């Protein structure tokens, strides 16, 4: 039996190695072809169009003389890139007869405009070959699951390494010490190998000239990966991993059932989270990524200190977010609980009807509610101002002052948020045993004392988790802020999440900066969650 | 049942083996129908299936940015010209120079072609232009005012007679619609050296004019957005509107309206932003020759006429305007286009929308001083551009 397992493992490793090699080889070759061919084609087209007498003289160079500049660029390019292209021409074109089916006009122009016709045919060949091989490579694009275009390899390789580890745990019995050591070394080697492959991959593709990402940047990225990978390996060698793998082996079936869900979570939340965090280390300009270490964070957290009152800075927005969350939660809980207590009264008729009515704000999609509230706050035509006028107040221009705009947001979100708390409280109220109240009445307790000493303590365990949940929702309540006040006036009512959105999509695509914001929000909420669960546990222990 | 199965089988064969092109666009309504019909015509004629995908205008750039570099984008797509620079810098677009040797460009209106040129290469062929004009309600207005002074006078007079109506509206906190004043006063946004020019006297004058219209004349409603304009106009409660050609689709059928070029502003000719829709080719397309064939088909004289008649587009093909029986509205659009500012395709442009909108909001909603609001926005812009 053991023998069989081992042979399985060996086959698996060999297969993985082959896959890895193919991935490495194909993605590498493809990129070189694709980029090179596109570059050459662009250059060639410049020549073609420049020769044609055109009405659009500002578009293209006027004369052949002028267009020679372009050609010398191609020439220089090919000289500089000799290693890459000669390798290509020598190795690949030997084995393939490439049909030259470019249009006659195109070729004629190319020939006419250059001093060295032979060079041109070579370009054409490369171009044609690249066009042809493109389709055959689709299968191998898996290696492109990565951070984006420039560094094709790393994440793909890391993914394979992880798969390998999981597979190995299933096949080998890690309880034996010998096995454990062999396994660790093999896996470590595999991880290191994939890491080295990624680096060579990135280096040889030669991105420097064509896209703006330099190899240096990729190396920096590699360092982070290396750290991650080493941490991962350490984790494996330590006891922790042994315990993990033991439970894995013991409960194979349940873990197998979890796998589909696990894969879903991996792709839908874990990978986006990781790539979001990684993105926060980059400065993004158009489609080029510059690795800037912690510059984004430093800019947000320390740069923000320079001007704390700046509504577009971190601290002001953070302050608004905290105030926003606190006031909201206060009203959600008090309004929700109040209504729940009223509905829960003994002998009240149409109880169900009431609870349905009060759930409606929650049941309607919140962006619709938000838009309706926004139009109700309109200065001239809104229902709220008309009502104010009827009572004898003056019309308020809601979104031109911070306080009123904030209030408008707040009213909308209280309307949206209290039903959740109400439902939670109602559920918990029904589980409070009646006899406690009977006993309290016997002892002569007032209604307030009953509430203070029976209802509240009994509600607490049900309410605390919903308050935590509600806090997280309100902290990230994008729809209300974005749709009702839209941050007006002057971004003064924006909260962190809308501010992050604006950095990415309204202030010219600063995705890295925005990702840093999002990571900070994540950190804040994570911390909050940790603290509150600790407090909750402590209070339960009492 | 069997028949259906066979049909499905052949249909799937068609999908698998038939040649096809994917085209993304942001069209709705009549324009979309016209495009779909054209695609069908092309398929019948050339046997190439065009897979159309309509994407909301706002989401277009994001979706494109996410899918093109990963090879999942369209072969060709239709969008306004203002993103060309950014997309070229991102390496998404194929230059069309190579295919332009047959004189295709000479059939198109020159200003619209030049709006598609970035760094000496052409990246799109113009399909249609969209330029804001003056809409007026024929129930109240018989003769079109020549200047804004006249417009204010007429509005005040009619508003005195009927308390429920408003004189004039446009989206005054949006740079796109503010543009007819801004460029009318000969102001600019930035120069060739990437220097921000919004703090200058001309732009202050322009903003003061917008402020005067909104706060002093009393003929405009407050907190204007596009929904409000549509509602008021459709209730016969609005006399004049400056809005783009898409507004025609929003006007309900029982409203009789006319359009005219935007009247003079204090003696200056208004120059609204003109957005030009072009058809672009992805650099990652694997069927570039075939894509080019389709592009040339869709800008051809015949298709352009179809797009104008069915899709109600102000097309960029010259010869179409000489056809008989064309809708007189298009002549107005063409006239306004002569005095229009093509949206810049420089990536720098995308920096300006938010800060300019912010400045307009400050001045119009919070009664700021124009010069102060502009200088604050300028400062913010310069900071943004530094990074």
Tally of structural domains, chain A: 3
Which of A52, A378, A510 is closest, CB to CB, to B101? A52
Residues B295 and B267 in one domain: no
- What is the C-alpha separation between A342 and A429, in angstroms, rounded? 11
Residue A29 pLDDT greater than 80, yes or no? no
Q: Give the dihedral sign, CA A233/A239/A245/A251.
A: negative
Cβ contacts of A49 on chain B, cutoff 8 Å: 97-98, 100-101
**Tell me, what's the pLDDT at B12?**
54
Interacting residues of B57 by C-beta distance below 8 A, sequence separation 6+: B26
CB-based contact B354 A135, cutoff 8 Å? no
Look at A485 and A176; give whichever has higher pLDDT: A485
Q: In the predicted model, is pLDDT for residue B379 greater than 50?
A: yes
Helices A271-279, A511-541: inter-axial angle, 10-degree rounding: 120
Instruction: Say whether residue B163 is in contact with chain A using an 8 A CB cutoff.
Output: no
Among A42, A61, A211, the residue with its CB nearest the CB of B95 is: A42
Contact state of A508 with B106 under an 8 Å Cβ cutoff: no
**Torsion-angle region of residue B314: left (phi > 0), alpha (psi -120 to 50) or beta?**
beta
Interface check for B120 against chain A (CB to CB < 8 A): the answer is: yes
| Chain B: residue whose CA lies nearest to A289 | B90
- Whether residues B351 and A507 touch (CB distance < 8 A) is answered with yes
What does the alpha-carbon distance between residue B218 and residue B209 come to, in Å, rounded to a whole number?
Answer: 13
Interchain pair A380, B351: CB under 8 A: no
Mean pLDDT of chain B: 86
Percent of chain A exceeding pLDDT 70 equals: 55
In a domain, A16, yes or no: yes
Check whether residue A177 and residue A111 sit in a common domain. Answer: no
Answer yes or no: do A488 and B361 touch at CB < 8 A: yes
Give CA–CA dist B59/B363, Å, rounded: 30
Number of structural domains chain B divides into: 2
| CA A372 from centre of chain | 31
Query: For residue A478, how many other CB atoms are within 10 A of its CB?
Result: 14
CB-based contacts of B305: which residues, under 8 Å, 6+ apart? B315, B320, B323
Q: Among B86, B113, B114, whose Cβ lies nearest the Cβ of A286?
A: B86
Out of A266, A293, A320, a domain closes at A293
The answer to whether B97 contacts A58, with C-beta atoms less than 8 Å apart, is no
* B57 found inside a domain: yes
Q: How sure is the predictor about B163, in pLDDT bands with cuts at 50, 70 and 90?
A: confident
pLDDT in tens, A217-251: 444 455 555 666 666 566 556 656 667 777 878 88
Residues A114 and A155 in one domain: no
Beta-carbon separation of A58 and B350 below 8 A: no
Q: Do A348 and A407 reside in the same domain of the chain?
A: yes
Interface of B with A in 8-37 (CB under 8 A): none
In a domain, B156, yes or no: yes
Looking at the structure, tell me whether residues B125 and B141 fall in a common domain.
no
d(CA B265, CA B270): 6
* Among candidate residues A358, A362, A346, A404, the one with its CA nearest the CA of residue A379: A404
Residues B83 and B224 in one domain: no
User: Is B36 in the same domain as B63?
Assistant: yes
> Does B208 contact chain A (CB < 8 Å)?
no
Q: Hey, are the CB atoms on A508 and B62 less than 8 Å from each other?
A: no
Provide φ and ψ at A238, rounded to 5°: -70, 170
pLDDT in tens, A320-370: 999 999 999 999 999 999 999 998 887 888 888 888 888 888 888 988 999
Are B165 and B104 members of one domain? Answer: no
Q: Are residues A440 and A476 in the same domain?
A: yes
Please indicate, yes or no, if residue B10 is contained in any of the structural domains. Answer: no
Residue ranges with strand state E in A214-295 = 282-285, 288-291
The answer to whether position B7 is within a domain reads no
Quick one: A180 and A285 in the same domain?
A: yes
- Residue A30: both structure tokens together: 């493809």
Range of the domain at B376: 133-271+352-386
Residues A529 and A407 in one domain: yes
pLDDT at A25 over 60: no
Domain with residue B249: its CATH number is 3.40.190.10
Mean pLDDT of A304-310: 83
Instruction: Write the DSSP assignment of A70-99 as a string of letters.
Output: HHHHHHHHHHHTHHHHHHHHHHHHTT-PPP
Does A60 score more than 80 pLDDT?
A: no
Q: What is the mean pLDDT of residues B356-369?
A: 89
Q: Is B62 on the interface with A (CB under 8 A)?
A: yes
The SS3 assignment for B279 reads: strand
The residues, any chain, with a CB within 8 Å of residue B254's CB and separated by 6 or more, are: none
Return the SS3 of B369: coil
Q: Is B357 on the interface with A (CB under 8 A)?
A: no
* B176-191 residue pLDDT tens: 999 999 999 988 888 8
Q: Are residue B142 and residue B68 in the same domain, yes or no?
A: no
Tell whether A169 and A233 lie within a shared domain: yes
Q: Which of B111, B365, B377 to mutate to test the interface with A (most CBs of A within 10 A)?
A: B365
Structural domain ending residue among the three candidates A116, A138, A160: A138
Domain that holds residue A33: 2-138
- With an 8 Å Cβ cutoff, is B365 touching chain A? yes
Domain termination site, one of A293, A312, A333: A293
Same domain, A258 and A174: yes
In a domain, B231, yes or no: yes
What pLDDT shows up at residue A20? 52
Q: Please give the structure tokens belonging to residue A26.
A: 């194909």
pLDDT tens across B321-345, in order?
A: 888 888 888 888 888 888 888 888 8
Residue B364 inside a domain? The answer is yes
> What CATH number is attached to the domain comprising A461?
1.10.3720.10
Q: Are residues B106 and B144 in the same domain?
A: no
Rounded CA separation A367/A484 (Å): 9
Say whether both B91 and B75 belong to one domain: yes
Among A144, A286, A507, the residue with its CB nearest the CB of B89 is A286
In tens, the pLDDT along A436-493 reads: 888 998 888 888 898 888 888 888 888 888 999 999 999 999 999 999 988 878 888 9
CB contact under 8 A, A46 and B121: yes
pLDDT at site A54 = 38
Same domain for A308 and A281, yes or no, is: no
pLDDT on residue B240: 93
pLDDT band at A195 (very low <50, low <70, confident <90, very high): low
Residues B306 and B248 grouped into a single domain: no
Same domain, B146 and B259: yes
Reported as half-sphere exposure (CB side, CA atoms, 13 A), residue A12 has a value of 21
The DSSP code sequence of B299-339 is HSHHHHHHHHHHH---BSBGGGGGSTT--HHHHHHHHHHHT
The DSSP annotation for B1-60 comes to: -HHHHHHHHHHHHHHHHS-EEEEEE---HHHHHHHHHHHHHHHHHH--EEEEEE--HHHH
A464 and A536 belong to one structural domain: yes
Same domain assignment for residues B124 and B260 = no
List strand residue ranges (DSSP E) for chain B, in order: 20-25, 49-54, 76-80, 117-118, 121-122, 124-130, 133-137, 166-169, 238-243, 257-260, 273-281, 341-342
Residue B18 pLDDT exceeds 80: no
Using omega within 30 degrees of 0 as the cis cutoff, is the peptide bond preceding A479 cis?
A: no
Distances (CA, A) of B384 to A21, A309, B351: 44, 18, 8
Across A75-88, average pLDDT = 34
Percent of chain B clearing pLDDT 90 (strictly above)? 35
Contact B98 A106 (CB under 8 A): yes
Question: Does residue A298 belong to any structural domain of this protein?
Answer: no
CB contact under 8 A, B354 and A507: yes
A331 is a domain residue: yes
Q: Does residue A125 lie in a domain region? A: yes
Looking at the fold, whether A43 and A179 belong to one and the same domain comes out as: no
Is residue B358 assigned to a domain? yes
Give the β-pairing of B49-54 and B20-25.
Answer: parallel
Kindly report, residue by residue over B286-322, the tens digit of the pLDDT: 888 888 889 999 999 899 999 988 888 889 888 888 8
Taking each helix axis from N to C end, the angle separating A104-112 and A117-136, rounded to the nearest 10 degrees, works out to 140
Regarding whether A166 and A65 lie in a shared domain, the answer is no
Q: 3-state DSSP helix/strand/coil percent for chain B, to nearest 5? A: 50, 20, 30
Residues B125 and B181 occupy one common structural domain: no
Q: Does B13 fall in a domain? A: no
Specify the 3-state DSSP secondary structure of B341.
strand
């Amino acid at each position: 039996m053991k023998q069989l397992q081992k042979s399985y493992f060996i086959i698996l490793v060999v297969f993985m190695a082959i896959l890895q090699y193919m991935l490495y080889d194909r993605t590498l070759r493809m990129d070189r072809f694709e980029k090179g061919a596109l570059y050459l084609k662009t250059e060639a087209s410049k020549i073609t169009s420049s020769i044609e007498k055109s009405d659009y003289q500002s578009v293209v160079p006027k004369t052949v003389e002028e267009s020679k500049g372009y050609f010398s660029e191609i020439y220089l390019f090919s000289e500089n890139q000799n290693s890459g292209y000669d390798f290509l021409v020598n190795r690949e074109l030997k084995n393939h007869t490439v049909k030259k089916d470019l249009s006659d006009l195109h070729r004629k122009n190319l020939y006419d405009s250059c001093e060295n016709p032979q060079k041109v045919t070579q370009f054409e060949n490369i171009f044609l070959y690249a066009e042809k091989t493109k389709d055959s490579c689709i299968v191998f694009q898996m290696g492109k699951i990565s951070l984006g275009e420039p560094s094709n390899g790393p994440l793909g390789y890391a993914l394979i390494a992880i798969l390998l580890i999981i597979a190995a745990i299933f096949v080998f019995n890690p309880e034996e010490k010998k096995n454990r050591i062999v396994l660790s070394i093999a896996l470590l080697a595999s991880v290191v190998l994939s890491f080295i492959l990624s680096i060579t991959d990135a280096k040889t593709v030669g991105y420097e000239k064509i896209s703006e990402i330099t190899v240096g940047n990729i190396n920096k990225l590699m360092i982070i990966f290396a750290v991650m990978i080493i941490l991962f390996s350490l984790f494996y060698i330590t006891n922790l991993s042994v315990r993990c793998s033991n439970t894995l082996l013991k409960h194979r079936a349940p873990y197998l059932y979890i796998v589909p869900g696990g894969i879903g979570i991996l792709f839908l939340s874990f990978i986006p989270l990781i790539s979001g965090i990684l993105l926060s280390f980059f400065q993004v300009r158009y489609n080029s990524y510059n690795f800037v270490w912690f510059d984004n964070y430093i800019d947000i957290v320390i740069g923000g200190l320079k001007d704390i009152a700046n509504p577009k800075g971190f601290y002001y927005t953070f302050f608004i977010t905290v105030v926003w969350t606190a006031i909201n939660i206060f009203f959600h809980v008090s309004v929700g609980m109040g209504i729940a207590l009223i509905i829960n009264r003994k002998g009240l008729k149409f109880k169900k009807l009431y609870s349905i009515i009060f759930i409606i704000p929650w049941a309607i999609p919140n962006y619709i509610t938000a838009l309706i509230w926004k139009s109700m706050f309109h200065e001239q035509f809104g229902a709220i101002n008309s009502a104010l006028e009827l009572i004898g107040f003056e019309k308020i221009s809601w979104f031109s002052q911070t306080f009123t705009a904030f209030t408008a947001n707040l009213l909308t979100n209280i309307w949206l948020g209290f039903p959740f708390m109400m439902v939670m409280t109602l559920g918990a109220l029904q589980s409070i045993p009646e006899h406690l109240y009977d006993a309290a009445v016997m002892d002569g307790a007032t209604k307030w004392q009953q509430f203070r000493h029976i209802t509240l303590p009994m509600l607490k365990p049900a309410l605390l988790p919903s308050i935590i949940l509600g806090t997280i929702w309100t902290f990230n309540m994008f729809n209300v802020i974005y749709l009702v006040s839209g941050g007006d006036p002057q971004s003064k009512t924006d909260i962190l999440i809308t501010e992050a959105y604006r950095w990415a999509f309204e202030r010219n695509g600063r995705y890295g900066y925005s990702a840093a914001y999002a990571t900070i929000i994540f950190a804040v909420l994570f911390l909050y969650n940790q603290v509150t669960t600790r407090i909750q546990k402590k209070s339960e222990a009492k | 049942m069997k028949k259906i199965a066979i049909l499905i089988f052949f249909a799937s064969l068609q999908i698998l083996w038939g040649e096809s092109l994917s085209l993304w666009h942001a069209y709705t309504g009549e324009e979309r129908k016209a495009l779909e019909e054209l695609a069908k015509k092309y398929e019948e004629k050339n046997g190439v299936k065009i897979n159309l995908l309509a994407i909301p205008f706002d989401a277009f750039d994001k979706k494109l940015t996410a899918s093109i570099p990963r090879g999942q984008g369209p072969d060709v797509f239709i969008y306004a010209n203002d993103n060309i620079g950014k997309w070229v810098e991102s390496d998404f677009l194929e230059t069309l120079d190579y295919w332009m040797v047959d004189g295709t460009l000479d059939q198109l209106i020159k200003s619209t072609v030049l709006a598609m040129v970035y760094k000496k290469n052409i990246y799109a062929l113009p399909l249609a232009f969209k330029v804001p004009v003056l809409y007026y309600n024929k129930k109240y207005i018989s003769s079109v005012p020549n200047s804004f002074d006249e417009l204010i006078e007429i509005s005040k007079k009619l508003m005195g007679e009927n308390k429920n109506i408003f004189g004039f509206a446009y989206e005054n906190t949006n740079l796109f619609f503010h543009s007819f004043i801004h460029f009318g006063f000969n102001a600019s946004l930035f120069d060739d050296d990437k220097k921000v020019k919004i703090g200058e006297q001309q732009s202050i004058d322009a903003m003061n004019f917008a402020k005067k219209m909104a706060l002093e004349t009393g003929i405009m409603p407050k907190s204007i957005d596009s929904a409000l304009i549509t509602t008021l106009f459709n209730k016969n409660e609005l006399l004049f509107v400056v809005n783009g050609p898409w507004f025609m689709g929003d006007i309900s059928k029982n409203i009789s309206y006319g359009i005219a070029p935007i009247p003079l502003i204090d003696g200056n000719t208004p120059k609204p932003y003109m957005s030009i829709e072009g058809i672009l080719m992805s650099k990652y397309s694997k069927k570039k020759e075939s894509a080019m064939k389709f592009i040339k088909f869709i800008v051809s004289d015949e298709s352009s006429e179809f797009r104008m008649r069915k899709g109600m587009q102000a097309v960029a093909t010259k010869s179409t305007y000489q056809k008989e029986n064309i809708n007189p509205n298009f002549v107005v659009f063409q006239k306004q286009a002569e005095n229009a500012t093509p949206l810049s395709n420089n990536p720098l442009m995308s920096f300006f929308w938010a800060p300019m909108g912010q400045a307009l909001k400050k001045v119009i909603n919070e009664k700021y001083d124009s010069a102060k609001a502009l200088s604050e926005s300028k400062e913010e812009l310069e900071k943004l551009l530094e990074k």
